[in-house]
C-alpha cells in the first residue's frame, strides 16, 4: 500500500456487519481496512488475508458441522479474531482492540470503529415461502449471497450507539473527508446513522468529497445494487450521490459516467469530477485520492 | 488406529491440564486421545494433528505478540478448540462437548472427561531468584519445558470435583480396566484424585492392569521423571507401579525392565508381565493391549 506522503490518515469504519462466528468477534470491515492498509489483503478475492489457508474452517464445516462454518475464516485471519476477541473479553473497548490489531499489523494510521456500542445491520427479506424474515446482514450477504428479495435494511441499536472516541473529533478536524466508494446502504449508511455523525459531517460538508461506488449503473464490487433500491436509491452514480445529499462538496464519478455529471451537479448542487475510479493498481488509487483531495482543498 | 474387535471402549481422560488459550478452552489430553483414536494424531510430534499448519499461532505470536502464543495451536487443531469452546459457552457440559468433538472426528467409542468441574494441575517451583512460584501445569511443562525445580504438584479444585457422568459406571462395569502408560503424576494422578474414582477402582482392582510409562528408568515420552520425585516416586517401573498401590491386579513392564519384575511382584503383590511396551507401530500396540487384557481376563 502506498503511503500518505506525510499526511495523517484516520479511517472511520462500519461495524454494523460485525458478527460472532464460532464465538469470536469478527469485524469484517475493520479487518478489510486493516488488511488493505498493512498490505496483507487478498486483493484478488476482495476479503481476508492473502496466501491464507482455511484448514480450521474446513474441519469446522466438514468434520464438526459447526453452525457458523458458512462464514469462511482463513487461518491467518483467525489470528485477528482470536486476538481481538480476547482483548474484548479482557474488558477493552472495540477502539482499543482495533488499535491493538492495527499496531500488530504494523499500521501507522488511526483506524476507528464508528462506535463501540453494538450496532447490527439486518436485512428483512421474503423467504422462499413468501414469509418475511429478518437476517443478520452477513447471513443475507455471505450465506445467502443476497439472493433473497430484500424489503428493508435496519441498523439495530444504532439509536443508542455513541460515536467511538475520536470519531467526531476526526470529522471536525480533518482537512479533507473522503466518503470512500463503498456500499452506501450496508457500509456507509450505518456510520451516518450513528447519532451525531451525520450532523458532524454536514457541519464540515465543504470538506467532504465522495467517490461513487457505482460505475455504469452497477457496483464495482459487492452487491450494492441489491440494497440501494430498498433504501430508495437508484443504482447509479447519481443515486449513490443522493445517499449523501447535504453532506458533499464534491463527488467523483467514473469516466464511464461522464454523461451523468451535469445532472448530478444540478440536482445535488455539488461539484462533480470525472476520474478513473476503478483502482486496479496503486497508481490509479493514488491518482484517484489526489483528485479527491484536490477537489476540496 | 486399529479397532477394538467389537469390544466397547470407554476412555476416562485427565482434564487437570486444561487451559484457556486465546480465550479458548483447550483440553490437551482429551484432544490427544481423540486424535489418536480418530487417526489424525501427529505421531511423530506426539501432540496435535498431523499435517497441521501453524499460521494463526505464528501471527498471534510474531505479529500480535499475544500473551498465550507460547502455546502452539495448529490451524486444524484450532477447529477443535473453537468448536468445543462454543459448545461450552452455549451451556453444554464438558462431557457433551467432548462427545460432540469425538463424533465430529468419527470416533465410535466413549471419551469421558474425568470431571466436568474445573480442576487445575499446578506445579510449585523455585524460580531463578529462588522464590517459590505456582505455575499452571502447561506453563511449567510447555512454556518453561519443565526446567524449573519442582517442589509440589497440586490438583486445584479436585476436592470439589465430581466424576463426570459415566465415569464411575464405566469403572464399575468394565471387564478390564487399563491404566495406560502415562505420567502418573500429571496425567493419571488428577483422575485418581477426583473423589470417588480411586475407591471405584480399588473396588474393581481385580480387573485393573497398568502399563509402566517408565522404561529402563526413564519416561518413554514426556518428562515424568521431573514430577515423579516430587510425588515421592522413584523414576522406575517399580516407582510408577507404586503410584497405583492397592489399585492393580497386574502390571506390565517393558522387556528392558525384566529384572525388576520379581521385586515389583513381591513388594506390591501384583502379577507382573513383561512385554514390548514401546508402541512403535499398531501391531506392537495391539499385542500390548492383548497382553494387558489377558492378564486380568
Of B85, B113, B141, the position where a domain reaches its end is B113
CATH code for the domain in which residue B22 is found: 1.10.8.240
B143 with B200, same domain: the answer is no
Distance between CA atoms of residues B182 and B192, nearest Å: 13
State whether A238 and A130 are in the same domain: no
d(CA A253, CA A272): 7
Cell of B279: 508402541
Write the pLDDT tens digit of every residue in B146-155: 889 999 999 9
CB atoms inside a 10 Å sphere around CB B99: 19
On whether residue A2 sits in a domain, the answer given is no
- Whether residues A196 and A253 fall in one domain: yes
Cα separation, A68 vs A23, in Å, equals: 9
Residues whose CB falls within 8 Å of the CB of residue A231, separated by 6 or more in sequence, listed in order: A153, A184, A185, A189, A243
Cβ neighbours of B121 (radius 10 Å): 29
Average pLDDT value for residue range B190-205: 98
In sign, the C-alpha dihedral spanning A233, A235, A236, A241 is positive
**What CATH code is carried by the domain that includes residue B196?**
3.40.50.10680
Domain boundary residue, one of A49, A79, A113: A113
Percent of chain B with pLDDT over 90: 89
Q: What is the pLDDT of residues B214-257, one digit of tens each?
A: 999 999 877 878 899 999 999 999 999 999 999 999 999 999 99
| A27 and A124 assigned to the same domain | no
Q: Do A226 and A253 belong to one domain?
A: yes
A63, A97, A107, best to mutate vs chain B, most B CBs in 10 Å: A63
**A131 exposed, middle or buried (CB, 10 Å; 0-12, 13-18, 19+)?**
exposed
pLDDT tens track for A64-93: 999 999 999 999 999 999 999 999 999 999
CB atoms within 10 A of CB B3: 10
| Residue A4 included in any domain | no
Tell me what the mean pLDDT of segment B78-106 comes to. 98
Query: At residue A5, does pLDDT exceed 90?
Result: no
B57 touches chain A (CB under 8 A): yes
B279 and B255 within one domain: yes
B291 and B182 within one domain:
yes
Cell of A197: 455523525
Give me B292's grid cell. 494387558
- As given in the structure block, the three cell numbers for residue A34 are 486493516
Residues in B touching A23 (Cβ below 8 Å): 82, 85-86, 89
pLDDT digits (tens, 9 = 90+) for A146-200: 889 999 999 999 999 999 999 999 999 999 999 999 999 999 999 999 999 999 9
Whether residue B2 is predicted with pLDDT greater than 70 in this model: the reply is no
pLDDT at site A121: 97
Mean pLDDT of B53-58: 98
Q: Are B147 and B59 in a shared domain?
A: no
Q: What does the pLDDT read at residue B271?
A: 97
Q: How far is A192 from chain B (nearest CA, A)?
A: 31
Q: Is the pLDDT of residue A2 over 60?
A: no
Q: Are residues A105 and A80 in the same domain?
A: yes
| A3 belongs to a structural domain | no
Q: B125 is written with which cell numbers?
A: 517451583
CA distance B252 to chain A (A): 37
Q: What angle do CA A59, A65, A69 make, to 5 degrees?
A: 70
> Is B5 within the bounds of a domain?
no
In a domain, B135, yes or no: yes
For residue A127, what pLDDT band results from cuts at 50, 70 and 90?
Answer: confident
pLDDT, averaged across chain B? 95
Q: Of A23, A89, A105, which is closest to B63 when you measure between CB atoms?
A: A105
Query: Looking at the structure, do residues B97 and B24 belong to the same domain, yes or no?
Result: yes
Tens digit of pLDDT for each residue in A193-248? 999 999 999 999 999 999 999 999 999 877 778 899 999 999 999 999 999 999 99
CA distances in angstroms from B264 to A157, A163, B39, B261, listed in the order given: 70, 73, 35, 5
Give the per-residue pLDDT at B3: 58
> What is the complex's ipTM, to 2 decimals?
0.92
Q: Determine the average pLDDT of the residues in A119-144.
A: 93
Same domain, B198 and B284: yes
Q: Are strands B132-136 and B120-126 parallel, antiparallel or unpaired?
A: antiparallel
Average pLDDT along chain A:
95
Asked if residue A176 is part of any domain, the answer here is yes
pLDDT (0 to 100) of residue A1: 41
Residue range of the domain that includes A143: 120-156
Q: Domain count of chain B? A: 3
Residues on chain B touching A57 (C-beta within 8 angstroms): 79
Lowest mean pLDDT among A48-62, A129-143, B22-36, B69-83: A129-143
Residue B166 within a domain: no
A104 touches chain B (CB under 8 A): yes
* List of chain B residues whose C-beta atoms are within 8 Å of the C-beta of residue A88: none
| DSSP code string of B68-133 | TTTS---HHHHHHHHHHHHHHHTT--HHHHHHHHHHHTT--SEEEESBSS--EEEEEEE-TTS-EE
Written as one string, the DSSP assignment of B203-270 is HTGGGEEEE-SEETTEESSTTHHHHTTTTT--SSHHHHHHTTTTT-SEEEEEGGGGGGHHHHHHHH--
**Best A73, A75, A88, A105 residue to mutate vs chain B (most B CBs within 10 Å):** A75
Residues A151, A214 share a domain? no
How much is the pLDDT for A254? 97
Pair A41, A52: CB distance under 8 Å: no
With respect to residue B244, please indicate whether it lies within any of the assigned structural domains: yes
Amino acid at each position: 500500500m502506498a503511503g500518505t506522503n506525510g499526511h495523517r490518515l484516520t479511517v472511520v469504519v462500519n461495524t454494523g456487519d460485525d458478527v460472532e462466528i464460532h464465538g469470536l468477534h469478527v469485524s469484517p470491515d475493520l479487518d478489510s481496512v486493516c488488511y488493505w492498509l498493512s498490505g496483507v489483503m487478498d486483493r484478488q478475492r476482495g476479503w481476508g488475508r492473502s496466501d491464507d489457508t482455511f484448514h480450521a474452517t474446513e474441519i469446522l464445516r466438514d468434520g464438526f458441522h459447526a453452525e457458523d462454518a458458512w462464514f469462511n475464516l482463513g487461518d491467518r485471519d483467525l489470528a485477528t479474531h482470536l486476538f481481538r476477541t480476547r482483548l474484548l473479553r479482557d474488558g477493552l473497548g472495540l477502539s482499543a482492540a482495533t488499535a491493538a490489531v492495527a499496531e500488530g499489523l504494523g499500521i501507522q494510521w488511526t483506524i476507528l470503529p464508528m462506535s463501540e456500542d453494538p450496532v447490527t445491520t439486518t436485512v428483512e427479506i421474503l423467504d422462499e415461502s413468501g414469509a418475511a424474515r429478518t437476517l443478520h446482514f452477513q447471513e443475507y450477504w455471505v450465506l445467502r449471497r443476497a439472493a433473497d428479495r430484500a424489503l428493508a435494511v435496519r441498523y439495530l441499536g444504532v439509536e443508542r450507539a455513541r460515536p467511538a472516541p475520536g470519531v467526531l473529533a476526526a470529522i471536525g478536524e480533518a482537512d479533507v473527508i473522503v466518503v470512500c466508494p463503498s456500499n452506501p446502504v450496508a457500509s456507509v449508511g450505518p456510520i451516518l446513522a450513528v447519532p451525531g455523525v451525520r450532523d458532524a459531517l454536514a457541519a464540515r460538508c465543504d470538506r467532504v468529497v465522495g467517490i461513487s461506488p457505482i460505475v455504469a449503473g452497477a457496483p464495482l464490487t459487492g452487491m450494492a445494487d441489491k440494497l440501494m433500491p430498498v433504501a430508495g436509491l437508484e443504482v447509479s452514480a447519481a443515486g449513490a450521490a443522493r445517499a449523501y445529499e447535504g453532506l458533499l462538496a464534491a463527488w467523483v464519478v467514473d469516466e464511464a459516467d461522464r454523461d451523468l455529471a451535469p445532472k448530478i451537479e444540478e440536482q445535488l448542487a455539488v461539484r462533480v469530477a470525472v476520474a478513473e475510479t476503478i483502482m486496479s493498481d496503486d497508481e490509479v488509487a493514488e491518482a484517484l485520492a489526489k483528485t479527491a483531495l484536490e477537489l476540496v482543498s
